Amino acid sequence: QVQLQESGPGLVKTSQTLSLTCTVSGGSLTTSTSAWHWLRQPPGKKLEWLGVIAYDGSTYYSPSLKSRTSISRDTSKNQFSLQLSSVTPEDTAVYYCAAGNGWYASPSEYEYWGQGTQVTVSS
C-alpha cells in the first residue's frame, strides 16, 4: 500500500518561498509510468493542480504558476518536493501530494493521496 505524507512549514511570510516535501512509503518514485503530483485547495475554492514529476524525472507545471513553481525529487529518500516562490496571501491553501499513473491523469484518477497540510501565507 502506497502512502504519502506531506511535511513543511505551516506558516510562510509574503515574498518568501514555500517549500514542502512528500515522503513516499510502499512505492517508488521511479516505478514505470508513475507520476507524483502536487495540488492545493485554497479556502472556499476548488482543488488546483500545481504540477507533477514523472517516474523518469520529467516535470510539468500548471501554466498559471509555472514561473513560480519547481518540483524536484530525491530518489535515495523516496521524497519529492514542491517549491513555490514569491508567495502572497493568495497562496494560502491546503497542499496535497498525490500519485497515479501517467503525468497527464486528472485528479479523479489519482490512486494515492497524502492527508494534506495547511500552509498560511502571512502578509
Q: In the prediction, which pLDDT does 102 show?
A: 84
- Judged by DSSP in three states, 42 sits in coil
pLDDT at residue number 42: 97
Cell 502572497, located at residue: 88
* Span 58-82, pLDDT tens digits: 999 999 999 999 999 999 999 999 9
Q: Distance (Å, rounded) from C-alpha 98 to C-alpha 89?
A: 24
What is the C-alpha to C-alpha distance for residues 67 and 82, in angstroms, rounded to an integer?
Answer: 13
Whether residue 28 is predicted with pLDDT greater than 90 in this model: the reply is yes
pLDDT of 105 higher than 90:
no
109 backbone dihedrals φ, ψ, rounded to 5°:
-95, -5
